[in-house]
Amino acid sequence: MKKVWMILRRSLLVFLVMILLINLYIIAAQLLFKKDLPKVAGFAQILVISGSMQPAIMAGDLLIIQEQKEYEEQDIVTYRSNGGLITHRIIEIEKGQAIMQGDANNVADDPVPVESIEGEAFLRIPQAGNFILFLKTPMGILLLILALSAIYIFFELTDFLKSRRAIAEEQKSLK
């Protein structure tokens, strides 16, 4: 049981360090290099704010997109248009131009160059975007700090209690 506990603890630590490093890179890329869509190994995260792709993708979802060498019709992609990012389905590709349309929209978007496509939807995490937006609020930051502190205290308290038990058992065996 002790080995499993240590493996879980180390795995959680490695996972949290990886998330921290990726987020530090994303923040640095946004602030220092003025990238509005930083990518890590061809992957980027997108917060969905509209319902134009419902029911496939809902407002409040978090999308992980991945750069592709080629895109095909029916791929759900994120592309640049008028300084913003839009996630829609490709309905047609012709002569280096892609025509996209949101699943919930009645009209197709204006054609855009295929080069303006940032990536294809790789993973959808339902409602995670709403959670991330909440974490950016003062209450969300406070709750995150409290949760991380509680996890740290839990692990430290567990170690402390184990060491106290070991000391108590050692003292019993000496008597």
Q: What is the average pLDDT across 66-90?
A: 94
Tally the C-alpha atoms within 13 A of residue 10's C-alpha that lie toward its C-beta: 6
pLDDT value, residue 63: 95
* Cis peptide preceding 111, ω within 30 of 0: no
pLDDT category at 35 given cuts 50, 70, 90 is confident
pLDDT category at 87 given cuts 50, 70, 90 is very high
Question: Across 4-8, 132-136, 149-153, which has the greatest mean pLDDT?
Answer: 149-153
pLDDT category at 150 given cuts 50, 70, 90 is very high
Q: Is 65 exposed, middle or buried (0-12, 13-18, 19+ CB in 10 A)?
A: buried
pLDDT for residue 59 is more than 90: yes
Q: In what order do the strands lie in the sheet with 117-125?
A: 43-47, 62-66, 117-125, 76-81, 84-94, 97-101, 112-113
pLDDT for residue 51 is more than 90: yes
pLDDT value, residue 8: 85
Q: What is the residue-averaged pLDDT of the chain?
A: 89
pLDDT category at 48 given cuts 50, 70, 90 is very high
pLDDT value, residue 162: 85
